[in-house]
Protein backbone atom coordinates (compact mmCIF):
# COMPACT_ATOMS: atom_id res chain seq x y z
CA UNK A 1 0.00 0.00 0.00
CA UNK A 2 1.31 3.46 -0.88
CA UNK A 3 1.92 5.76 2.06
CA UNK A 4 -0.77 8.29 1.23
CA UNK A 5 -3.36 5.51 0.87
CA UNK A 6 -2.33 4.10 4.25
CA UNK A 7 -2.57 7.57 5.77
CA UNK A 8 -6.05 8.19 4.37
CA UNK A 9 -7.18 4.83 5.73
CA UNK A 10 -5.76 5.70 9.16
CA UNK A 11 -7.51 9.09 9.18
CA UNK A 12 -10.78 7.30 8.56
CA UNK A 13 -10.22 4.28 10.83
CA UNK A 14 -9.48 6.31 13.96
CA UNK A 15 -11.42 9.44 12.99
CA UNK A 16 -8.25 11.26 13.95
CA UNK A 17 -5.64 13.66 12.60
CA UNK A 18 -3.48 13.24 15.71
CA UNK A 19 0.05 11.87 15.50
CA UNK A 20 1.94 10.96 18.66
CA UNK A 21 5.65 11.72 18.52
CA UNK A 22 7.78 9.13 20.26
CA UNK A 23 10.57 11.18 21.88
CA UNK A 24 11.65 8.98 24.82
CA UNK A 25 13.87 11.12 27.04
CA UNK A 26 15.52 8.85 29.66
CA UNK A 27 15.42 11.51 32.38
CA UNK A 28 11.65 11.84 31.96
CA UNK A 29 10.76 8.16 31.90
CA UNK A 30 8.64 6.89 34.81
CA UNK A 31 10.76 5.71 37.73
CA UNK A 32 9.49 2.15 37.49
CA UNK A 33 11.06 1.76 34.04
CA UNK A 34 14.48 3.34 34.58
CA UNK A 35 16.23 0.18 35.77
CA UNK A 36 15.24 -1.83 32.73
CA UNK A 37 17.67 -2.46 29.88
CA UNK A 38 14.69 -2.01 27.54
CA UNK A 39 13.18 1.02 29.27
CA UNK A 40 12.75 3.03 26.07
CA UNK A 41 10.94 0.22 24.27
CA UNK A 42 8.77 -0.58 27.27
CA UNK A 43 7.81 3.09 27.57
CA UNK A 44 6.98 3.33 23.87
CA UNK A 45 4.99 0.11 23.96
CA UNK A 46 2.87 1.32 26.88
CA UNK A 47 2.18 4.65 25.14
CA UNK A 48 1.30 2.91 21.88
CA UNK A 49 -1.02 0.39 23.52
CA UNK A 50 -2.78 3.20 25.38
CA UNK A 51 -3.27 5.49 22.36
CA UNK A 52 -3.37 3.35 19.21
CA UNK A 53 -7.08 3.87 18.58
CA UNK A 54 -6.74 7.66 18.86
CA UNK A 55 -4.05 8.38 16.27
CA UNK A 56 -3.41 8.47 12.54
CA UNK A 57 0.37 7.97 12.87
CA UNK A 58 3.32 7.59 15.20
CA UNK A 59 6.52 9.59 14.72
CA UNK A 60 9.63 8.24 16.46
CA UNK A 61 12.42 10.85 16.59
CA UNK A 62 15.68 9.05 15.84
CA UNK A 63 17.86 11.36 17.96
CA UNK A 64 16.28 10.17 21.19
CA UNK A 65 17.29 6.62 20.36
CA UNK A 66 20.70 7.24 18.79
CA UNK A 67 21.87 9.44 21.68
CA UNK A 68 21.35 6.50 24.04
CA UNK A 69 22.81 3.88 21.65
CA UNK A 70 19.27 2.51 21.59
CA UNK A 71 18.75 2.00 17.86
CA UNK A 72 17.82 -1.60 18.69
CA UNK A 73 14.90 -0.28 20.75
CA UNK A 74 13.82 1.91 17.84
CA UNK A 75 13.76 -1.22 15.69
CA UNK A 76 11.80 -3.04 18.38
CA UNK A 77 9.31 -0.17 18.59
CA UNK A 78 8.67 -0.14 14.85
CA UNK A 79 8.51 -3.93 14.67
CA UNK A 80 5.95 -3.89 17.48
CA UNK A 81 3.83 -1.34 15.64
CA UNK A 82 4.04 -3.34 12.41
CA UNK A 83 3.02 -6.54 14.19
CA UNK A 84 0.27 -5.22 16.46
CA UNK A 85 -1.09 -2.15 14.65
CA UNK A 86 -0.07 -2.53 11.00
CA UNK A 87 -2.70 -0.05 9.80
CA UNK A 88 -0.97 2.87 11.59
CA UNK A 89 1.74 4.66 9.55
CA UNK A 90 5.17 5.11 11.10
CA UNK A 91 7.03 8.33 10.24
CA UNK A 92 10.72 8.23 11.09
CA UNK A 93 11.67 11.76 12.13
CA UNK A 94 15.29 11.85 10.97
CA UNK A 95 15.50 15.08 8.93
CA UNK A 96 18.11 13.58 6.62
CA UNK A 97 19.63 15.66 3.85
CA UNK A 98 22.63 14.90 1.67
CA UNK A 99 23.51 14.13 -1.93
CA UNK A 100 24.47 11.16 -4.09
CA UNK A 101 25.45 7.88 -2.51
CA UNK A 102 25.10 9.29 1.02
CA UNK A 103 21.44 10.12 0.43
CA UNK A 104 20.98 6.61 -0.99
CA UNK A 105 22.27 5.22 2.30
CA UNK A 106 20.00 7.45 4.37
CA UNK A 107 17.04 6.20 2.33
CA UNK A 108 18.10 2.61 2.96
CA UNK A 109 18.40 3.38 6.66
CA UNK A 110 14.85 4.69 6.86
CA UNK A 111 13.07 2.29 4.55
CA UNK A 112 15.12 -0.93 4.63
CA UNK A 113 16.74 -0.96 8.06
CA UNK A 114 13.92 0.62 10.06
CA UNK A 115 11.02 -0.26 7.73
CA UNK A 116 9.45 3.16 8.27
CA UNK A 117 6.46 4.15 6.15
CA UNK A 118 7.81 7.68 5.77
CA UNK A 119 10.82 9.77 6.70
CA UNK A 120 11.42 13.48 7.26
CA UNK A 121 14.08 15.10 5.05
CA UNK A 122 15.80 18.48 4.77
CA UNK A 123 15.63 20.00 1.26
CA UNK A 124 18.45 22.54 1.66
CA UNK A 125 20.72 20.63 -0.75
CA UNK A 126 18.10 20.64 -3.52
CA UNK A 127 16.18 18.18 -5.63
CA UNK A 128 18.93 15.61 -6.14
CA UNK A 129 19.09 15.15 -2.36
CA UNK A 130 15.38 14.28 -2.33
CA UNK A 131 15.27 11.87 -5.28
CA UNK A 132 16.89 8.93 -3.43
CA UNK A 133 13.92 9.03 -1.07
CA UNK A 134 11.07 9.75 -3.49
CA UNK A 135 12.12 6.90 -5.78
CA UNK A 136 10.67 4.60 -3.09
CA UNK A 137 7.24 5.18 -4.57
CA UNK A 138 5.30 3.41 -1.83
CA UNK A 139 6.99 5.42 0.95
CA UNK A 140 6.26 8.94 2.19
CA UNK A 141 8.87 11.71 1.99
CA UNK A 142 8.13 14.49 4.45
CA UNK A 143 10.00 17.64 3.43
CA UNK A 144 10.73 20.52 5.81
CA UNK A 145 8.97 23.63 4.54
CA UNK A 146 7.97 26.14 7.26
CA UNK A 147 9.09 24.76 10.59
CA UNK A 148 7.65 25.52 14.02
CA UNK A 149 10.71 27.04 15.70
CA UNK A 150 11.18 30.78 16.12
CA UNK A 151 14.39 30.76 14.09
CA UNK A 152 12.56 29.42 11.04
CA UNK A 153 12.14 33.00 9.86
CA UNK A 154 15.90 33.47 9.52
CA UNK A 155 15.94 31.65 6.18
CA UNK A 156 12.50 30.29 5.41
CA UNK A 157 10.84 33.72 5.24
CA UNK A 158 13.52 35.33 3.08
CA UNK A 159 11.91 37.13 0.14
CA UNK A 160 12.83 35.96 -3.36
CA UNK A 161 11.06 37.69 -6.25
CA UNK A 162 8.48 39.02 -3.81
CA UNK A 163 7.65 35.63 -2.30
CA UNK A 164 9.04 33.89 0.80
CA UNK A 165 11.43 31.00 0.31
CA UNK A 166 9.09 28.51 1.96
CA UNK A 167 6.45 29.16 -0.72
CA UNK A 168 9.01 28.73 -3.49
CA UNK A 169 9.87 25.39 -1.89
CA UNK A 170 6.22 24.36 -1.56
CA UNK A 171 5.68 25.11 -5.24
CA UNK A 172 8.80 23.21 -6.30
CA UNK A 173 7.82 20.14 -4.26
CA UNK A 174 4.28 20.19 -5.61
CA UNK A 175 5.16 20.80 -9.24
CA UNK A 176 8.57 19.18 -9.74
CA UNK A 177 9.53 16.73 -7.01
CA UNK A 178 6.24 14.90 -6.45
CA UNK A 179 6.09 12.73 -9.57
CA UNK A 180 5.39 9.63 -7.46
CA UNK A 181 2.74 11.47 -5.42
CA UNK A 182 4.51 10.56 -2.21
CA UNK A 183 5.69 13.95 -0.93
CA UNK A 184 4.41 15.70 2.18
CA UNK A 185 5.46 18.98 3.78
CA UNK A 186 6.28 19.97 7.35
CA UNK A 187 4.49 23.18 8.35
CA UNK A 188 4.57 24.24 11.99
CA UNK A 189 1.38 24.68 14.00
CA UNK A 190 2.76 27.97 15.31
CA UNK A 191 2.38 29.64 11.90
CA UNK A 192 -1.27 29.29 10.76
CA UNK A 193 -1.07 32.10 8.22
CA UNK A 194 1.94 30.52 6.56
CA UNK A 195 0.11 27.19 6.65
CA UNK A 196 -2.83 28.74 4.83
CA UNK A 197 -0.50 30.02 2.14
CA UNK A 198 1.17 26.62 1.76
CA UNK A 199 -2.20 24.89 1.48
CA UNK A 200 -3.17 27.23 -1.36
CA UNK A 201 -0.01 26.26 -3.23
CA UNK A 202 0.00 22.48 -2.74
CA UNK A 203 -3.68 21.56 -2.94
CA UNK A 204 -4.49 18.41 -0.97
CA UNK A 205 -0.88 17.35 -0.26
CA UNK A 206 -0.69 16.09 3.35
CA UNK A 207 1.04 18.34 5.88
CA UNK A 208 2.89 17.13 8.97
CA UNK A 209 2.21 19.70 11.66
CA UNK A 210 4.49 19.84 14.72
CA UNK A 211 4.13 22.49 17.37
CA UNK A 212 0.91 21.72 19.25
CA UNK A 213 0.98 20.79 22.91
CA UNK A 214 4.24 21.91 24.52
CA UNK A 215 5.01 24.43 21.76
CA UNK A 216 1.62 26.08 22.10
CA UNK A 217 0.21 25.96 18.57
CA UNK A 218 -3.42 27.15 18.28
CA UNK A 219 -5.43 24.07 17.29
CA UNK A 220 -8.45 25.93 15.94
CA UNK A 221 -6.32 28.26 13.84
CA UNK A 222 -4.09 25.56 12.40
CA UNK A 223 -6.93 23.19 11.52
CA UNK A 224 -8.88 25.91 9.77
CA UNK A 225 -5.77 27.04 7.91
CA UNK A 226 -4.51 23.62 6.89
CA UNK A 227 -7.36 21.18 6.46
CA UNK A 228 -8.53 20.07 3.04
CA UNK A 229 -12.12 20.25 1.79
CA UNK A 230 -12.58 16.71 3.14
CA UNK A 231 -11.56 17.80 6.63
CA UNK A 232 -8.29 15.85 6.50
CA UNK A 233 -4.88 16.63 4.99
CA UNK A 234 -3.12 17.10 8.35
CA UNK A 235 -0.93 14.94 10.58
CA UNK A 236 -0.94 16.98 13.78
CA UNK A 237 1.92 15.86 15.98
CA UNK A 238 2.08 16.11 19.74
CA UNK A 239 4.98 14.58 21.64
CA UNK A 240 5.87 15.84 25.12
CA UNK A 241 2.32 16.83 26.08
CA UNK A 242 1.16 13.25 25.53
CA UNK A 243 4.25 11.26 26.53
CA UNK A 244 4.82 13.01 29.83
CA UNK A 245 1.25 13.71 30.89
CA UNK A 246 1.94 11.54 33.92
CA UNK A 247 5.00 10.08 35.61
CA UNK A 248 3.54 7.51 37.98
CA UNK A 249 2.27 3.98 37.53
CA UNK A 250 -0.63 5.37 35.48
CA UNK A 251 1.57 7.24 32.97
CA UNK A 252 0.06 5.42 30.00
CA UNK A 253 -3.50 6.16 31.13
CA UNK A 254 -2.55 9.82 31.58
CA UNK A 255 -1.12 9.83 28.05
CA UNK A 256 -4.37 8.36 26.75
CA UNK A 257 -6.43 11.09 28.42
CA UNK A 258 -4.35 13.84 26.84
CA UNK A 259 -4.31 12.13 23.44
CA UNK A 260 -8.09 11.72 23.52
CA UNK A 261 -8.60 15.35 24.50
CA UNK A 262 -6.24 16.44 21.71
CA UNK A 263 -7.97 14.30 19.09
CA UNK A 264 -11.39 15.56 20.15
CA UNK A 265 -10.28 19.20 20.14
CA UNK A 266 -8.88 18.79 16.62
CA UNK A 267 -12.10 17.16 15.44
CA UNK A 268 -14.15 20.12 16.68
CA UNK A 269 -12.75 22.26 13.88
CA UNK A 270 -12.65 19.80 10.98
- Dihedral, 149, 155, 158, 161 alpha carbons, nearest 10: -130
| Cα(44)–Cα(112) distance, integer angstroms | 21
CA-to-CA separations, 80 to 57, 95, 186, 205, in angstroms, rounded? 14, 23, 26, 29
Q: Catalytic: 172?
A: no
Based on the number of CB atoms within 10 Å of its own CB, is 137 exposed (0-12), middle (13-18) or buried (19 or more)? Answer: exposed
Helix (H, G, I), strand (E, B) or coil at 135: coil
Beta bridge partners of 142: 120, 184
Contact status, residue 91 vs residue 208, Cβ threshold 8 Å: yes
List 2, 95, 172, 224, catalytic entry? 95
Task: Note the maximum CA span of the chain.
Answer: 57
Active site residues: 95
Amino acid sequence: MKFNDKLRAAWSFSNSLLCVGLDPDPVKLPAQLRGSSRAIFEFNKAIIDATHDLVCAYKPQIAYFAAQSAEDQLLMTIEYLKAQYPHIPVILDAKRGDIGSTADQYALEAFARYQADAVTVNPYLGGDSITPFTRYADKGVVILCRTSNAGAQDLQDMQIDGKPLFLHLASKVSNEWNSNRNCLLVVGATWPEQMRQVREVVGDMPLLVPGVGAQGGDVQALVKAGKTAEGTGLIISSSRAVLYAGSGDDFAQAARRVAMASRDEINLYR
